[in-house]
Amino acid sequence: MSFEGFFSLWSFYSGDLRELIVNPGQDAPLQCQGPRDAEITLLEWNRADLKSDDYVFLYRNQRPYENYQHESFKGRVNLMDPSMKDGNVSVTLRNVKLTDTGTYKCQITTKETESVVHECSISLKVTTSDKHTKESQAESKDGGEKDKCLSVIIPVLSVFAYY
């Protein structure tokens, strides 16, 4: 057997990591931007500490599924834009509670790929401290939440050989 060639393919995954600080009773905009021109077939909003089959928000087959929502989120989460125009899959968590603090993850699957094509995470902190929310509001005037980009590079190697 002789070595014919070597091919390396790099797959990039890019997501957003955001921090949002709000007071109890406020509405929290959990923002995520998906592909602009793709048909979204599955949208999953989760929180890290929930069981895998409990969702913050689930959209599938062109409609939301409240049956799969964790009990604490029922009736409090809606799409900001129900048509998801231009890939806007942001949701609003209404009347936040201290127990809503946590890391929320949005995963988007499209018809074209039938796999997760985009992911973003938001660290939501619900606090009674005015200091933190005033700082957060000041930062919003300068461009929104604290944005940090994550990039994960996954090398996929293929070796071609012949006899």
Q: Which residue has the higher pLDDT, 138 or 63?
A: 63
CA distance linking residue 135 with residue 121, whole number of Å: 21
CA distance 40 to 87: 8
Into how many domains does the chain fold?
1
pLDDT-above-70 percentage for the chain: 69
Mean pLDDT lowest among 56-60, 100-104, 150-154: 150-154
User: Helix or strand or coil: residue 23?
Assistant: coil
Domain residue limits at 100: 2-162
Q: What is the pLDDT of residues 18-77, one digit of tens each?
A: 899 999 999 999 999 999 988 999 999 999 999 888 999 999 989 999 999 999 999 999
Q: What is the 3-state secondary structure (H, E, C) of 45-112?
A: EEECCCCCCCECEEEECCEECHHHECHHHCCCEEECCCCCHHHECCEEECCCCHHHCEEEEEEEEECC
H or E, element range at 151: strand 146-162
Q: Which CATH number belongs to the domain containing residue 94 in this structure?
A: 2.60.40.10
Query: What pTM was estimated for this model as a whole?
Result: 0.71
